[in-house]
Amino acid sequence: MKRVLGIESSCDETAAAIVDETGQVLASVVASQIDTHGKYGGVVPELASREHLRSITPVVRGAMEEARLNWNELDAIAVTAGPGLVGSLLVGLTYAKALCLVRGLPLIGINHIEGHIYAVLLEARLAGAEIELPALALVASGGHTHLFEVSPRMTYRLLGKTRDDAAGEAYDKVAKLLGFGYPGGPVLDQLALHGDADAVHMPMVKMKGNTLDFSFSGLKTAMLRWTQSKDLEGELIARRALLKLHPHPTVEQWLTVTPQLTLDAIAAFQEVVVEELLRRAARAAEETGARAIIISGGVACNAGLRKSARSGRLPCPVFFPTPQLSTDNAAMIAAAAFPRLERGEFSDLTLKAQANLTLA
């Protein structure tokens, strides 16, 4: 039985996981830095590297203990080589290289975006569901929003990507603007349920050039204009005060300091993001003759997106990861390494962290 230890540190999660060749996740440990970055309203790269340094040893040790494995029961170490914050990537990569040297294991460098796609393939396999290829993959997170065609040989063709903000980044910036803290996606998603999207108008994008590209900066500006046109001072003060009292307020607590009109604007914002993502995914799937749609990355946790994607509007079956495997984790990195392990395709110990690594 082959087993791979995966290590992920590309952004603000330090993660380690062990996956076996049947796709079983024997251990998965994720140390989130949300509390560190929360007070700044976004990820601070210098702090992220420092936190990764602090967490990497206990996280890897924790995964090995959880799986009850010895080092000689592993076959390779997979690590995210990019894309991501270079200082953060370096912590995981250097640690993985050192482990490979000391334990005599091969190193497999993984593209983080491919990891997000494997999160879905891994779980589908465990559930006995077959994802037919070619597939269309939408990866939407805090750092990327990409559409890929996934061929039957597991090669990738980039069909569209964001020209400005990533979808999750738009959530985080709008949440910051409205005083909801970081990360913004989960809070706005839950609050959107309480708003009426038709009560506030938010614009859809008219894309010139590649119409499968995304853009969220216009929507972000529309939200900024909306806040400027309203007197939100009182509610902003109340939300800041709530965040000081409770670092992680519940939806009920947020609702006490969020008037209906603001909830309506949040619902309208979410509706536009979901529409922008799913319209392009549907069109790309039709144009490429995809047999399945894979949606992954932190934004794949979004309840509005899941509901709309499952309403029968997409031309083929749609697959999402569970929420734990939607956001950054190392099980997806280990899973993505298996095809390479089988082919004996290993990385050199000179492997570099690549902040702008592309998948296609």
Q: Which does 162 bind (CB under 5 to 8 A by kind): Zn ion, ligand KG4, none?
A: none
With CB under 5 A as the contact rule, the residue among 99, 140, 328, 357 that binds Zn ion is 328
Nearer Cβ to ligand KG4 (282/301): 301
C-alpha to C-alpha distance for 323 and 2, rounded to whole angstroms: 26
Distance CA 64, CA 4 (A): 11
Instruction: Tell me how far, at minimum, the Cβ of 43 lies from ligand KG4, in Å.
Output: 9
When the beta carbons of 33 and 141 are compared against Zn ion, the nearer one is: 141
- Residues facing residue 160 across a β-bridge: 147
- Which of 185, 190, 191 is CA-nearest to residue 298? 185
Residue number of the CB atom closest to Zn ion: 141
Cβ proximity to Zn ion: between 10 and 288 the closer is 10
For the record, the structure tokens of 75 come out as: 């076959």
Of Zn ion, ligand KG4, none, which one sits near residue 109, judging by CB under 5 to 8 A according to partner kind?
A: none
Is the dihedral angle over the CA atoms 59, 65, 70, 73 positive or is it negative?
Answer: negative
Under rule CB under 6 A, which residues in 320-359 are in contact with ligand KG4?
327-328
The secondary structure of residue 329, as a DSSP letter, is -
Per CB under 6 A, which of residues 152..181 are in contact with ligand KG4? 168-169, 171-172
- Contact string (CB under 6 A) for ligand KG4, positions 199-228, x = contact: ------------------------------
The tokens for 174 are 């709008």
The dihedral formed by the CA atoms of 226, 228, 231 and 237, expressed in degrees to the nearest 10? 100
Interface positions, 123-142, toward Zn ion (CB under 5 A): 141
Nearest distance, CB of residue 8 and ligand KG4, angstroms: 9
Instruction: Specify the amino acid at residue 176.
Output: K
Q: Shortest distance, CB of residue 138 to ligand KG4, whole angstroms? A: 13
Report how far apart, in Å, the C-alpha atoms of 306 and of each of 37, 282, 318, 347 are: 27, 14, 9, 36
Q: Does 297 bind ligand KG4 (CB under 6 A)?
A: yes
For residue 216, how many other CB atoms are within 10 A of its CB? 26
**Residue in 162, 262, 302, 308 binding ligand KG4, rule: CB under 6 A:** 302
Provide CB contacts within 8 A for 60, sequence distance 6+: 5, 7, 16, 95, 99
Q: Is 80 in the site for Zn ion (CB under 5 A)?
A: no
Our finding on whether 8 is near ligand KG4 (CB under 6 A) is no
Give whichever of 29 and 74 is closer to ligand KG4, judged by the CB atom.
29
**By CB under 5 A, is residue 172 in contact with Zn ion?**
no
- Rounded CA separation 242/179 (Å): 10
> Among candidates 25, 26, 22, 95, which has minimal Cα distance to 56?
95
List of residues contacting ligand KG4 (CB under 6 A) = 11, 141-143, 168-169, 171-172, 183-186, 189, 297-299, 301-302, 327-328
